[in-house]
Amino acid sequence: MNTITASTAIDSIIIEAADPAAAERFYAEAFGLGRRIRVRATDSPSTGFRGYMASLVVSQPAAVRRLVDAAVAAGATVVKPVAKSMWGIGGVVQAPDGSVWKIATSAKKDTAPDTGEIERIVLLLGGDDILASKRFYVEQGFRVGKSFGRSYVEFENQAGAIQLGLYRRGPLAKDAGVPEEGSGSHRLVLVGGGSTVTDPDGFEWEPAER
């Protein structure tokens, strides 16, 4: 089995898009994440839900609203309007390339000026057998931070890296606010470690640039 070596973390992600120039403009204007989000051209067939959701975690509601507004201005579609929940405040948008993004905070109200900072980027991968996927990543060297049986796994994260989590596909689609159905390419590549590898749910990794 190929293994992820040196860095058991996501250095960046590559969004594959039919119009990479448009996708690059969107991410620069909407989120400003620099090299952590890259774009690559593809013509691989992909329909419906792509099996993952990326989350931007911020400190307070003002930042959630700012990022959602910026995404919509750059061309995103609102899937879930910004609203309160038992966990905090958040909203979900779908980028023009088809990827789904959640912007959220655990804070219920603003306590200071919006600094413009994003505290964490979390990538949730949907799967049918979470225990098998968890076992795969543990074998690669990832350390489990939180685990809830067959439903959810969150791995420990390195400073500055994109955090990885696993979630059953159906509940993940429900959380994202989109239908569960989808087929074809994930149109996503995770960058990190030193080897090329594919996880049990078909998500591809490629080596980080050193």
Q: Tell whether the torsion through CA atoms of 172, 177, 178 and 184 is positive or negative.
A: negative
Task: Give the pair of three-digit tokens for residue 82.
Answer: 């910004």
Predicted local confidence at residue 3, as pLDDT: 42
Neighbour-count burial of 37, counting CB atoms closer than 10 A to its CB (0-12 exposed, 13-18 middle, 19+ buried)? buried
Q: Which residues contact 149 (CB under 8 A, 6 or more apart)?
A: 130
How far is the C-alpha of 130 from the C-alpha of 153, rounded, in Å?
8
Predicted local confidence at residue 116, as pLDDT: 85
80-132 confidence digits (pLDDT tens):
999 999 889 999 999 999 999 999 999 999 998 898 899 999 999 999 999 99
11-69 confidence digits (pLDDT tens):
999 999 999 999 999 999 999 999 999 999 999 999 999 999 999 999 999 999 999 99
58-81 confidence digits (pLDDT tens):
999 999 999 999 999 999 999 999
Amino acid sitting at position 182? G
Q: How confident is the model at residue 6 (pLDDT cuts 50, 70, 90)?
A: very low
pLDDT at 193 over 90: no
Q: How confident is the model at residue 194 (pLDDT cuts 50, 70, 90)?
A: confident
pLDDT at 4 over 50: no
Would the pTM count as exceeding 0.95?
no
